C-alpha cells in the first residue's frame, strides 16, 4: 500500500513538473486549477493561483519565479478574490476570454486606461472619481509625468490601433526585475528587485512634483453665454493669463483636490468676433475624454479645424514632433503648467484678450531683445578687451624674448668667424646700452660726426681708452632686427686693412647701434672737396689712395 501511495505521489510530482516546464499556455476549454502553475518560456514568471502574504484569499495572477519573495506582477481578480475555503479554477472559453470562478470582494482604488479621446492612464477612486492621470501619449512618454522622460534604461510604448490599445513597459537589462504596481493608498509605484534588500521604489505617482513643482491647475467649462472658470491648486496667478484676462472667483468645482482656488474669464467669449488662440507653453494637456484626435493633421491644419468650429476651445499637437492633432470641446479639465516639461497648447480667447496678449508679448519681446542686445554688447567688449590684453601681453613677451635672443645670436654668429686673408680669428663685442651712453656722453651734440637717413654717427671713448664711432640707427629707418643682424654679420666678415673695422654692436629694446673704430683723419671727402685741405694730397698720395680703394673693392668682389 505504501509503495502504491509513493508511486502515485511520484506520478503527480512528475505531472506537475512537466506542466511547469513543458507548456506556458492554457489551451481553450482547458482548466488551470488551484495548485497548478505555468512557467514562462524564459523561466522568469509563473502563472497560477496564490495568496499574498498571510491572506486567506486566493488570486489568479502572475508572479516572479526567480525572486525569493513571492511578488505579484499581475492579478486578474484583484477586486473579486477567491474564497480561501474554495478551490479556484481558471479557464479560457471558446471566445478566448479568461474566466475565474468563485469569490467576491471590492477595492475602492483601481488603475485603468481611459479610451475616449486620446488614451490615458487614470487612478480611479470609488469607481468614478479620477484622482490622477498620466496625460495623453506624446509619441515618447506620457505628457503629464515629467519623471517619465525617454531614457536608455526603460522603454515605454503605446499601441493604439482599431483592434488593440495597450501600453508596454520593458527594461533594457533583462536580468533586472522591475514592476509597476498600484498600492492600497492609491499610488502607482515603479519598483526594482535588489538582492539582499528586496523591492526598492524608484518612483511613485502622484509624487512630490504633483504638489510642489506644478505652477497651476485649471478647470475650464466652456459656455458662450456664460464665462468659463478655472481652478488653481496653488496661490500663484491663474494659468494662461499673462495679460490678466482671467480673474479669481469662488468655485466649488474641482478636478481632484478639494479647497482649490478658481478663476474665470473677465468677459464673455464671442466666437467669430475677432477671437483667436493664446499660446500656453510647458503644459500638461487637459483630460482628453472630450477631445478628438486626428493623427493625419499637422499643427496648422489643427488650428484651422479648431477655428472653424465654435465648439472647439483649444488644440495642441498630439506628438512632441509636431504631428497629430488634439482638439478639445466642452471642458478643459486638469491642465497644468510645468516649469521644465510639457507641450504647447492653444486656448481660444476673445479679440480684446488676444490684442492685449499680443501687445504684452511684443513688449516682453522688446524688453528681452534690449536685454539680449546689452548682454551681447557687454560680452563683445569683454571679449575684445581680453583679446587685446592677451595680444599685447604676448607681443610684449615675444618682443622681449626676441630682443634677448638677438645678442645671443650675434655672439654665436660672430665669435667664430675667421679672416681668410690673415687666418686670424676676431671677436665681435656686444656692448650694453649704458656703456654707449657713457662713451658718447649721452650722445652729446658736440660729439656728433654726422647724420643721414639711416640715423646718426657719434664719436665716443670707451673706458679702456679706445676711440670709437657709434652708428646709431634711427627708430624710423625701417630696418628690422633680422636686417640689423645680417648687416652686423656681413660687416664683421669684411676684415681688411683698407676697410674700417667694426668692433661690436649694441641691441637693447628699440635701440640698435654699430660700433666702429674711430678714424681721426676723418673721411676722404673731408680732404678732397675742400680747397685748402685738398692741397695736402699730392699725386703720389692720391695714387696710393686709389690703389687702396681698388684693393678694397677687389676684396669685396673676390673675397
pLDDT at 260 over 70: no
**CATH code at position 67:** 2.90.10.10
**90, 125: one domain:** no
Find the distance separating the first CA and the last CA of the chain, reported in whole Å.
Answer: 133
Q: CB 340: neighbour CB atoms within 10 A?
A: 8
pLDDT score of 203 more than 90 = no
Best-predicted range by mean pLDDT (32-36, 183-187, 355-359): 32-36
243 SS3 class: coil
What integer pLDDT is reported at residue 302 of this predicted model? 92
- Comparing 89-103, 231-245, 369-383, 400-414, which segment has the lowest mean pLDDT? 231-245
The count of domains in the chain is 3
Statement: the pTM of the whole predicted model exceeds 0.75: no
Judged by phi (left if over 0) then psi (alpha if -120 to 50, else beta), residue 485 lies in: alpha
Same domain (yes/no): 31, 122 = no
Q: Give the lowest-confidence range in 9-23, 185-199, 333-347, 464-478.
A: 9-23
> Of 84, 101, 118, at which residue does a domain stop?
101
Sign of the CA dihedral 517, 518, 520, 521? positive
- Regarding whether 276 and 127 lie in a shared domain, the answer is yes
Give the closest residue to 122 by CA, choosing from 182, 58, 200, 211: 182
Residue 363's pLDDT is what?
A: 52
Q: Is 42 helix (H, G, I), strand (E, B) or coil?
A: coil
Residues 87, 118 share a domain? no
Residue 46: pLDDT over 60: yes
Q: Are residues 120 and 82 in the same domain?
A: no
Tell me the CATH number at 480. 3.30.200.20
Domain that holds residue 414: 355-520
> Would residue 319 count as lying in a domain?
yes
For residues 251 and 321, membership in a common domain is answered with: yes
Residue-wise DSSP of 50-117: E--TT---BEEEEEESS-SS--EEEES-SSSPBPTTS--EEEE-TTS-EEEES-----SEEEEEE-SS
Q: Is the pLDDT of residue 351 over 50?
A: yes
Residue 419 lies inside a defined structural domain of this protein: yes
**Cβ atoms within 10 A of the Cβ of 239, count?**
23
Q: Is the pLDDT of residue 242 over 50?
A: no
Asked if the structure places residue 3 within a domain, the reply is no
Q: Tens digit of pLDDT for each residue in 500-551? A: 788 888 888 778 888 888 887 767 777 777 778 777 778 888 888 888 888 8
Q: Is 342 left (phi over 0), alpha (psi -120 to 50) or beta?
A: left
Alpha-carbon distance 34 to 60, whole Å? 9
Please tell me the distance from the alpha carbon of residue 338 to that of residue 253, in angstroms, as a whole number: 22
Domain end call among 314, 349, 384: 349
pLDDT of residue 14: 37
Task: Indicate the DSSP class of residue 288.
Answer: G
293: CB partners within 8 A, 6+ apart? 117, 118, 318, 324, 325, 326
459-487 average pLDDT score: 80
Beta strand 418-419 pairing with 424-425:
antiparallel
Question: Which of 170-174, 360-364, 468-472 reaches the highest mean pLDDT?
Answer: 468-472
Cβ distance 123 to 188 under 8 Å?
Answer: yes
Mean pLDDT is lowest, of 42-56, 398-412, 443-457, for 398-412
556 belongs to a structural domain: no
Looking at the structure, tell me whether residues 259 and 162 fall in a common domain.
Answer: yes
What span, in angstroms and rounded, lies between the C-alpha atoms of 70 and 73?
A: 10
Q: Among 67, 74, 29, which Cα is nearest to 48's?
A: 74
Could you say which of 310, 330, 349 is where a domain stops? 349
d(CA 79, CA 60): 11
6 belongs to a structural domain:
no
State mean pLDDT over 415-422: 46
Same domain, yes or no, for 446 and 386? yes
Q: Does the pLDDT value for residue 465 go beyond 90?
A: no
Same domain assignment for residues 86 and 122: no
Are the C-beta atoms of residues 272 and 322 closer than 8 Å to each other? no
**Could you read off the pLDDT of 505-514 as tens digits, one per residue?**
888 877 888 8
Give the per-residue pLDDT at 212: 36
Indicate whether 258 and 407 sit together in one domain: no
Residue 455 covered by a domain: yes
Report phi then psi at 344, rounded to 5: -75, 140
Same domain, 32 and 122: no
> For the chain, what percent of residues have pLDDT higher than 70?
66
Amino acid at each position: 500500500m505504501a509503495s502504491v501511495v509513493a508511486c502515485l505521489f511520484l506520478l503527480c510530482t512528475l505531472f506537475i513538473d512537466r506542466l511547469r516546464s513543458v507548456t506556458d499556455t492554457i489551451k481553450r476549454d482547458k482548466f488551470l486549477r488551484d495548485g497548478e502553475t505555468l512557467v514562462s518560456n524564459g523561466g522568469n514568471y509563473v502563472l497560477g493561483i496564490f495568496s499574498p502574504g498571510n491572506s486567506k484569499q486566493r488570486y489568479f495572477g502572475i508572479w516572479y519565479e526567480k525572486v525569493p519573495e513571492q511578488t505579484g506582477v499581475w492579478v486578474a481578480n484583484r477586486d473579486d478574490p477567491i474564497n480561501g475555503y474554495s478551490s479556484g479554477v481558471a479557464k479560457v472559453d471558446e471566445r478566448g476570454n479568461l474566466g475565474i470562478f468563485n469569490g467576491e470582494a471590492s477595492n475602492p482604488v483601481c488603475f485603468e486606461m481611459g479610451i475616449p479621446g486620446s488614451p490615458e492612464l487614470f487612478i480611479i477612486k470609488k469607481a468614478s472619481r479620477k484622482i490622477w492621470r498620466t496625460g495623453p501619449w506624446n509619441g515618447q512618454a506620457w505628457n503629464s509625468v515629467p519623471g517619465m522622460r525617454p531614457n536608455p534604461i526603460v522603454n515605454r510604448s503605446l499601441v493604439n490601433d482599431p483592434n488593440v490599445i495597450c501600453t508596454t513597459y520593458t527594461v533594457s537589462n533583462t536580468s533586472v526585475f522591475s514592476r509597476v504596481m498600484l498600492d492600497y493608498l492609491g499610488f502607482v509605484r515603479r519598483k526594482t528587485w535588489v538582492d539582499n534588500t528586496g523591492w526598492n521604489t524608484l518612483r511613485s505617482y502622484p509624487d512630490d512634483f504633483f504638489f510642489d513643482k506644478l505652477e497651476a491647475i485649471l478647470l475650464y467649462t466652456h459656455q458662450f453665454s456664460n464665462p468659463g472658470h478655472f481652478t488653481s491648486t496653488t496661490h500663484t496667478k491663474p494659468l494662461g493669463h499673462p495679460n490678466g484676462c482671467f480673474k479669481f472667483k469662488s468655485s466649488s468645482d474641482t478636478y481632484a483636490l478639494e479647497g482649490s482656488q478658481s478663476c474665470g474669464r473677465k468677459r464673455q467669449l464671442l466666437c467669430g468676433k475677432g477671437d483667436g488662440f493664446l499660446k500656453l507653453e510647458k503644459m500638461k494637456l487637459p483630460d482628453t475624454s472630450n477631445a478628438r484626435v486626428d493623427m493625419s493633421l499637422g499643427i496648422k491644419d489643427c488650428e484651422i479645424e479648431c477655428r472653424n468650429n465654435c465648439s472647439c476651445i483649444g488644440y495642441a499637437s498630439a506628438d512632441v514632433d509636431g504631428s497629430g492633432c488634439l482638439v478639445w470641446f466642452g471642458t478643459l479639465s486638469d491642465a497644468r503648467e510645468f516649469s521644465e516639461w510639457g507641450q504647447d497648447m492653444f486656448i481660444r480667447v476673445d479679440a480684446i484678450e488676444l490684442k492685449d496678449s499680443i501687445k504684452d508679448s511684443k513688449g516682453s519681446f522688446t524688453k528681452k531683445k534690449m536685454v539680449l542686445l546689452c548682454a551681447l554688447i557687454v560680452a563683445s567688449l569683454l571679449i575684445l578687451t581680453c583679446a587685446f590684453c592677451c595680444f599685447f601681453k604676448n607681443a610684449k613677451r615675444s618682443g622681449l624674448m626676441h630682443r634677448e635672443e638677438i645678442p645671443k645670436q650675434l655672439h654665436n654668429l660672430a665669435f667664430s668667424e675667421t679672416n681668410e686673408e690673415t687666418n686670424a680669428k676676431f671677436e665681435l663685442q656686444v656692448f650694453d646700452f649704458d656703456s654707449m651712453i657713457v662713451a658718447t656722453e649721452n650722445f652729446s651734440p658736440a660729439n656728433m660726426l654726422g647724420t643721414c637717413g639711416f640715423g646718426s654717427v657719434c664719436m665716443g671713448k670707451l673706458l679702456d681708452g679706445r676711440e670709437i664711432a657709434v652708428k646709431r640707427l634711427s627708430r624710423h629707418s625701417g630696418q628690422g632686427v633680422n636686417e640689423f643682424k645680417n648687416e652686423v654679420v656681413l660687416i664683421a666678415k669684411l676684415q681688411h686693412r683698407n676697410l674700417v673695422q667694426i668692433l661690436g654692436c649694441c641691441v637693447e629694446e628699440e635701440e640698435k647701434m654699430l660700433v666702429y673704430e674711430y678714424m681721426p683723419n676723418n673721411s676722404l671727402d673731408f680732404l678732397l672737396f675742400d680747397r685748402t685741405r685738398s692741397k695736402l694730397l699730392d699725386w703720389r698720395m692720391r695714387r696710393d689712395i686709389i690703389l687702396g680703394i681698388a684693393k678694397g673693392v677687389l676684396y669685396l668682389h673676390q673675397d
